[in-house]
C-alpha cells in the first residue's frame, strides 16, 4: 500500500518530476519505502509515514519561498532537491528509534542524512551544496556562504508549525 501511495504522491507530481533528476527521486522514495518496511513497530511506521507527508509539505513551502524571494536567485531544481533531502536522515531515525528527537534517538538526523547522500556519490551539479544544506538545515544558525544552506535553515524556521506535517 505505502509503495503505491509514495509513487502517486511523488512520481505523479509533475513539478517535482521536472525539477528533480529521476535517480535522486527514486533514491529518496526508496529510502522512504525501505524504512517503512523495516520499521520496528506500527508506531515507528506511523512516524515514517508522517515524514513522507512532511517532506511534500516542505517541498511545497520551498517552492512558495523560492517564488517569493526576489533578492536572491535560487536554482529551483537545487532548492527542490534540498527540500526533498532535508530530512532523509529522519527515515532511519524514526524506523529504528520511534523518535524524531536527535538526543533521544542518539542520531543527528541532519548529519546522518548528509552522510547518506554523500555515500550515494550522485554526480550532479551542486551536490556538495546540497549535502551542506542538509547538514545545516536544523542547526540554530549558519554563518557560511552556501545560499542553499541558508535557504534550508530559513524555510525550516519560517514554516515550523505552519503546515500540518512539519512538526510532530
**Mean per-residue pLDDT pooled into runs of 10, the chain (168 residues):** 85 93 97 95 94 91 82 86 95 92 92 97 94 88 80 60 40
Contact 167, 161 (CB under 8 A): yes
- Would you say 133 and 148 are in contact if contact means Cβ atoms under 8 Å apart? yes
Q: Full-prediction pTM beyond 0.85?
A: yes
Number of alpha carbons in the 13 Å side-chain half-sphere of residue 94: 26
pLDDT at res. 162: 47
> What is the per-residue pLDDT for 112?
97
Domain annotation for the chain: domains and CATH numbers: 2-159 (1.10.3210)
pLDDT at 149: 82
Return the pLDDT at 163. Answer: 43
What is the reported pLDDT for 111?
96
Amino acid at each position: 500500500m505505502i509503495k503505491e501511495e509514495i509513487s502517486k504522491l511523488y512520481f505523479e507530481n509533475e513539478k517535482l518530476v521536472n525539477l528533480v533528476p529521476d535517480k535522486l527521486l527514486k533514491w529518496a522514495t526508496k529510502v522512504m519505502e525501505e524504512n517503512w518496511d523495516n520499521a520496528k513497530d506500527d508506531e515507528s511506521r506511523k512516524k515514517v509515514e508522517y515524514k513522507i507527508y512532511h517532506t511534500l509539505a516542505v517541498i511545497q513551502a520551498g517552492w512558495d519561498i523560492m517564488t517569493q524571494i526576489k533578492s536572491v536567485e535560487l536554482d529551483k531544481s537545487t532548492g527542490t532537491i534540498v527540500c526533498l533531502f532535508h530530512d532523509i536522515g529522519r527515515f532511519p531515525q524514526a524506523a529504528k528509534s520511534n523518535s524524531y528527537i536527535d538526543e533521544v534517538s542518539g542520531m543527528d538526523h541532519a548529519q546522518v542524512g548528509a552522510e547518506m547522500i554523500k555515500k550515494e556519490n550522485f554526480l550532479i551539479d551542486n551536490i556538495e551544496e546540497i549535502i551542506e544544506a542538509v547538514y545545516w538545515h536544523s542547526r540554530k544558525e549558519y554563518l557560511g556562504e552556501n545560499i542553499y544552506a541558508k535557504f534550508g535553515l530559513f524555510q525550516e524556521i519560517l514554516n515550523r508549525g505552519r503546515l500540518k506535517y512539519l512538526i510532530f
